[in-house]
Amino acid sequence: MASKTIFWLAAATAAIQSIATLPPLPAGYSSPGLPVGQPLPATPYVVDNTGNTHNAAPDKGTLDKLVTTKEERLQLKKPVENGSGGFLSDLTFYGGNIGFRAGSQQYTAQNLQFTSCLAAISMIWDWGFTWQNIYVYSCWVAIDCTSTLTSMVFRIPSRCETGAPTPNIVLDNLLVENSASIVLVSGGETIFEGSSGQTYFTSWAMGSRCSSKSGKCSFETGLFDPAPRKPQSLLDGSGNIFTRSKPTYTNYGASSFVVVTAQGVKNDGTGDQSEAISAILKDAAGAGRPVFFPSGVYLIEKTVFIPVGSIIIGEAWSQIMGTGAFFSDESKPQPVIRVGNVGDSGVIEISDMMWTVKGGTAGAILMQWNVHESTKGSAAMWDSHFQVGGAVGSDLRLDDCPKSTGAAKKDCIAASMLFHVTSRGSGYFENVWVWTADHDMDVPHRYIEDGNTTTSVQINIYTAIGTFIESQGPTWLYGTGSEHHVIQNAKDVFLTHIQTETPYFQASTDALQPFKSYDQGFLDTESCQERLAETSFSEGLWFYNTFIKGAVQVIKPRGGIPPLMQKDTDQV
């Protein structure tokens, strides 16, 4: 319970969990207010993340309990008003005017509970927002409005409010109790009526639906008939899409943890630490002990093997950095990290780590994931990211790989693949960002302040494949993003909310014409890219809220079915 004013001004995506007591704020400290200058009448009991703009940070953090006691005050608990996220989970809100004010390009929020807020969730804007396992009690308005998945809502006089322009809304596996309206237009008609008792439904939607072989779309409102058939392997015991919160390991005593630096492993970016790390992981897995990597850079020149039974915890993204001749041959790709051997099954848990490379590593596969779960979600990774270039120590920065329109520099060909889930592997992946840097993140601020723009720090780094999934399932990806994304011969895969992006430097590496490197002229006609996604004689695929920027075709099925065109899905 918060008995002091809380100002959460997180600078990155490190998690905040289980806060029991907080130090007092410095004298004279006050809230910076809302981004448009709107005042907050109540200073006490306000959490304010205003002004903390993350244009690409995936995770806003995890906070175990957020409780206020002054319900009569006008309060804004958790604003997320900008950026390209992202993931947020395991929050509890009590009282106030607005529990969560949300706005982002794409985002996933999971396991949230709201009690006695005037409005539980207020949507400012979004391209796409997924809400999963949302519990709302005794709030006048629950969601103000978006798409929601696998949620249970109780005792609410009115549900999702919509205003112009009409959003796409998908409600999936929803239970509502004592609510006169489930979806209504603010100040207007009820679109989806509620009831005085319980109302449960599997799938309801409002928006542009494209389901015919002719490729035609139509605006529809109502229950899905038939509803999507979800593979049982992806569901929990209640029929919901399976989720698993990030472990906190409070059941382990301090002496149970193996601290790698205490075993002689260096985290200062020097020397080859691969053999030492592999040996520690082998011994710890056999003894059932978690392994802790203190913050730093761990240089490795050979593959590190993570065996079944491993529990790995980082500190603010401890970096495992592949480098050297072993990873340099693009004709013979080698994994930097191998998670299990082909055919392995069991428990592997990884959190708060970063996987990266240094310098010319054209043959690097940053992670090869072979392990299959033994129980639902037992093979999992949380809050762990892949980054190639754009950072101090990577030798893939502005001076090394500047933006250009010529042929690719050999030393800037940095990876064969970033993340590969093999055909016999499966996994639960939450807040995993797979990124080939398009700009240098560590350029000094003075460079920008001297009159340069952020586009002047763009860089050309070349990687072949971002995320490649061959898993036969079950595999879940929550709040993930990848610069390149390939799913081939896979099944029983659930992804939400996913984001991908095309490199800006085409066609300097022989991509199809008429692209010109870094030319944004095609944005006027939204025709920078021919297609966003392609399916190959697939079936049982459901896409919710697919949004694009600069592509002519949204989805292109092979087999003679007309593509879904961007111009056909615009809502008027």
182 shares its domain with 94? yes
For residue 221, being part of any structural domain is answered with: yes
Q: Judge whether 74 and 41 are in contact, CB under 8 Å.
A: yes
For residue 29, being part of any structural domain is answered with: no
For residue 19, being part of any structural domain is answered with: no
443 shares its domain with 301? yes
The residues of the chain scoring below 50 in pLDDT are 1-77, 79, 146, 150-158, 484-486, 507, 511-515, 570-572
In this prediction, residue 515 carries a pLDDT of 42
In this prediction, residue 155 carries a pLDDT of 34
Q: What are phi and psi of 567, to 5 degrees?
A: -70, -20
In this prediction, residue 394 carries a pLDDT of 94
pLDDT in tens, 431-463: 998 988 888 888 865 565 555 666 668 888 888
83 shares its domain with 153? yes
Structure token digits, residue 206: 């409002």
Which of 229, 262, 288 represents a domain boundary (last residue)?
A: 229
In this prediction, residue 249 carries a pLDDT of 95
530 shares its domain with 428? no
Structure token digits, residue 520: 């944004």
For residue 242, being part of any structural domain is answered with: no
Q: Judge whether 433 and 249 are in contact, CB under 8 Å.
A: no
499 shares its domain with 524? no
417 shares its domain with 361? yes
Within 13 Å and on the Cβ side, how many CA atoms surround 113?
Answer: 10
112 shares its domain with 182? yes
Q: How many domains does the chain have?
A: 3
Which of 212, 229, 246 represents a domain boundary (last residue)?
A: 229
94 shares its domain with 147? yes
Which of 478, 504, 530 represents a domain boundary (last residue)?
A: 504
321 shares its domain with 430? yes
Q: Look at residue 7 and give its three-state secondary structure.
A: coil
This model's pTM is above 0.85:
no
**Residue 411's CATH number:** 2.160.20.10
In this prediction, residue 109 carries a pLDDT of 86
Q: Is the dihedral of CA 219, 225, 227, 228 positive or negative?
A: negative
Q: Where are the beta strands (DSSP E) in 235-276?
A: 258-259
R_g of the chain computed on alpha carbons: 24
User: Domain range holding 541?
Assistant: 520-572
For residue 15, being part of any structural domain is answered with: no
405 shares its domain with 259? yes
pLDDT in tens, 483-494: 644 455 677 776
For residue 274, being part of any structural domain is answered with: yes
142 shares its domain with 285? no
In this prediction, residue 46 carries a pLDDT of 31
Write the CB contacts of 171 (distance below 8 Å, at least 6 apart in sequence): 147, 148, 151, 160, 182, 183, 192, 201, 203, 204, 205
382 shares its domain with 358? yes
pLDDT in tens, 488-547: 567 777 677 666 665 555 545 554 444 455 566 666 666 666 666 777 777 777 777 777
In this prediction, residue 23 carries a pLDDT of 45
For residue 300, being part of any structural domain is answered with: yes
For residue 246, being part of any structural domain is answered with: no
